[in-house]
Structure 1
Amino acid sequence: MSDPREGLTVTHRRYIPYSHAHYAGDLVDGAYVLGLFGDVATELCIRTDGDEGLFASYSDVQFRAPVRAGDVLETTAVLTRAGTRSRVMDFEARVVCRGRPDKGGSAAEVLPEPVVAATASGTVVVAAPGAVNPPAR
C-alpha cells in the first residue's frame, strides 16, 4: 500500500541574478541548482511532516543544459517514496525565461518550451514523529 503523500509536488521559481554567474558566458555553477533543490525539498517536508528535514544524499544528478544569470529557473520536487523517516524525491530544474543581452542590456524572453537544465533524486530524513527538536540558541 502506498503512502497518500507520495506524488505531492512543490514548485518554486527564481530569477537568477548576474551576481551568481561564476563562469564565462554568465554560466551559473551546478551547486546553485542543488541549493534550489534543497529549498523545494524543505517545503515538501514541511507540508508532509511539519519538519524541515535534512538532506541525506543526492543520487543520479544530471546537468543537462546550461543555467545562466538572467534565467528564471523553475525547480520541482516530487515525493516518490515515504519511509518511516526518509523521504525520497525526484527533482527537476527547468529554464522558463532567459535573458537576451544580444537584444539589449535588460532584454529577456519567456521560452516557448522550458529547457530541462538538471534532474536528480535525493533522500531527506525528517524528525521522528513526536520528537522534540532542541531550541535554537
Structure 2
Amino acid sequence: MTLEFGFSVTHRRYVPYAHAHYGGDLVDGAYGLALFGDVATDLAIHTDGDESLLAGYSQVEFLAPIQAGDVVEVTATLTRVGSRSRDLAFEARVLCRAAPDRGPSAADVLDPPILATKAVATIVVPAKTEGDATPA
C-alpha cells in the first residue's frame, strides 16, 4: 500500500446508450460523479486497504457534456492525507466519441481529449486499530 501525495488511479469506461438521460444522448452529471466514486474506492483500497466512505465534495465543475457512445477516462489523485481523511482531485476526460453522422457504429478518437468534469472530494477511512499494519 502507498500513501504518497500524487498517487493516482485511473479507470476507463464506455458510456452505453442505455445511460442516455437527455436529448442529444447526454448522460446526467451524476453519471460522472458515480465514476468518481468508483475510482476513489479503488484508490482507497490501494492506499489504506479499505474501500473508504465519501464524506463530501468541496468543488464540482461540469465543463463539457458526457454522451452515450463516449469512452471516458476518470482519474483520482491523492492531494492531502489526514489521520483518517484523504482529499482527492478528480478529472473525467472524454477520449472517444460516437460519430453517428458517418454511420451507426462510427466513432472518433479525440485528440486532445475533452475535459468534461473536475471535482475535489474528501474520503474517510476507518481508524487504525492496534496491530493494524495499514498506513495512518
In structure 1, the residue matched to 2:93 is 94
Q: Percent identity?
A: 62
Alpha-carbon distance in 1 for matches of 2:129, 2:110: 46
In structure 1, the residue matched to 2:54 is 55
Contact 2:3 2:47 in 1 (8 A): no
2:19 is matched by which residue type in structure 1?
H
Runs of 4+ in 1 over 4 A off after TM superposition: none
The question of 1:130 aligning with 2:129 is answered: yes
Alpha-carbon distance in 1 for matches of 2:111, 2:121: 29
The question of 1:20 aligning with 2:19 is answered: yes
In structure 1, the residue matched to 2:7 is 8
CA separation of 1:36/1:4 partners in 2, compared to 1, >3 Å: closer, same or farther?
Answer: closer
1:64 is matched by which residue type in structure 2?
L
Alpha-carbon distance in 2 for matches of 1:4, 1:17: 34
Cα deviation code 1:25-74 (max 9, x no counterpart): 00000001000000110010000000000000012100000100000000
In structure 2, the residue matched to 1:29 is 28
In structure 2, the residue matched to 1:134 is none
Alpha-carbon distance in 2 for matches of 1:43, 1:5: 15
Q: Which runs of 5+ in 1 are unaligned?
A: 132-137
Q: CA deviation at 1:4?
A: 5.2
Secondary structure of 1:130's counterpart equals: coil
Q: Which runs of 5+ in 2 are unaligned?
A: 131-136
Secondary structure of 2:40's counterpart equals: helix
Alpha-carbon distance in 1 for matches of 2:103, 2:38: 32
Q: CA deviation at 1:89?
A: 0.3
Secondary structure of 1:117's counterpart equals: strand
CA separation of 1:58/1:69 partners in 2, compared to 1, >3 Å: closer, same or farther?
Answer: same
1:124 is matched by which residue type in structure 2?
I
TM-score (normalizing by structure 2): 0.92
Q: CA deviation at 1:112?
A: 1.3
Alpha-carbon distance in 1 for matches of 2:68, 2:129: 43
2:77 is matched by which residue type in structure 1?
V
TM-score (normalizing by structure 1): 0.91
